[in-house]
């Protein structure tokens, strides 16, 4: 599906707004939050609706005996989420990937002998800000591994650490297992509830990105995960 640059940007920002509010939005709210005119927002949403990327609903006013004017609200479709993930995956910046990857690995090496508390907190704050699927997933992978490391005794007892080692992170199989490991973390009694809640909230987007990545990028992430494990465990 072909979208103009302006349409892609609008859809991307609308998706971000919808993820933030988790509810269908009136076009005036969209206009205000995105900094565009009301007519512009309405016309763009209708255009995206024609392309199957947005759906509209009519809401009747709550309460009152007489029916009033309905309000039109919009929300993105699954097709929109998949399209933007695909476009983002195709447009990733290899130079940025190498830079960020290097910084993460260097921070891990410098933090050896600690529980990586500060680094983990920094990563958890950065993850939702990442627009690149590669960077989002790399930070998510690092956060899960560091979380397991902090709870290594419990994670070993429950078999989570062994599952991670046994998988060896073989591309999609290992990368997909990250979501399961995140859920497993939430069941560890001593786990930080704030940390596990954040990780679980990031999992859906992680999985969406994973389904759109090509084999080459999955291999890059798999290799990165193995590097993280090697630094943390030695």
Separation CA 168–CA 12 (nearest Å): 34
Separation CA 161–CA 180 (nearest Å): 12
Let me know whether 76 and 154 are in one domain: no
Let me know whether 112 and 219 are in one domain: yes
Assign 74 to helix, strand or coil: strand
Supply the mean pLDDT for the chain: 79
Angle, CA 143 vertex, CA 179 and CA 103 arms, to 5°: 135
Q: For residue range 65-114, what is the model confidence (pLDDT) as tens digits?
A: 555 566 889 999 888 877 776 665 544 457 778 888 999 999 999 988 78
Spell out the residues 6+ positions from residue 225 whose beta carbon is closer than 8 angstroms to its own: 141, 145, 169, 174, 175
| Higher pLDDT, residue 57 or 162 | 57
Full-model pTM: 0.57
Domain end, chosen from 66, 87, 108, is at 87
Number of domains composing the chain: 2
Q: For residue range 164-218, what is the model confidence (pLDDT) as tens digits?
A: 555 445 455 567 777 666 665 655 545 566 777 888 888 888 888 888 777 778 8
Domain end, chosen from 53, 87, 121, is at 87
Q: What is the pLDDT of residue 170?
A: 46
Let me know whether 113 and 174 are in one domain: yes
Would you say the C-alpha torsion 129, 132, 135, 137 has a positive or negative sign?
A: positive
**5-44 burial code (b ≥16 CB/10 A, e <16):** eebbebbeebbeebeeeeebbbbebbbebbebeeeebbeb
> What is the domain range of residue 65?
5-87
Separation CA 120–CA 93 (nearest Å): 24
Q: What is the pLDDT of residue 23?
A: 87
Let me know whether 126 and 196 are in one domain: yes
């Amino acid at each position: 599906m072909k979208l103009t640059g302006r349409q892609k940007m609008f859809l991307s920002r609308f998706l971000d707004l919808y993820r933030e509010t988790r509810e269908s939005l009136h076009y005036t709210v969209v206009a205000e939050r995105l900094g565009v005119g009301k007519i512009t927002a309405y016309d763009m949403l209708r255009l995206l609706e024609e392309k199957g990327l947005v759906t509209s609903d009519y809401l009747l006013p709550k309460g009152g005996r007489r029916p009033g004017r309905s309000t039109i609200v919009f929300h993105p479709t699954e097709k929109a989420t998949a399209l933007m993930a695909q476009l983002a995956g195709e447009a990733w910046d290899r130079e940025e990937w190498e830079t960020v990857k290097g910084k993460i690995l260097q921070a891990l090496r410098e933090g050896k002998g600690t529980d990586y508390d500060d680094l983990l907190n920094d990563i958890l704050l950065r993850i939702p800000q990442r627009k690149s699927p590669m960077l989002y997933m790399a930070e998510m992978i690092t956060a899960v591994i560091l979380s397991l490391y902090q709870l290594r005794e419990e994670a070993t007892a429950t078999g989570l650490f062994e599952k991670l080692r046994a998988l060896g992170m073989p591309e999609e199989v290992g990368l997909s297992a990250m979501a399961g490991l995140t859920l497993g973390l939430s069941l560890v009694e001593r786990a930080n509830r704030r940390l596990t809640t954040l990780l679980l909230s990031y999992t859906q987007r992680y999985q969406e990105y994973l389904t759109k990545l090509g084999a080459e990028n999955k291999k890059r992430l798999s290799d990165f995960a193995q590097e993280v494990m090697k630094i943390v465990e030695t």
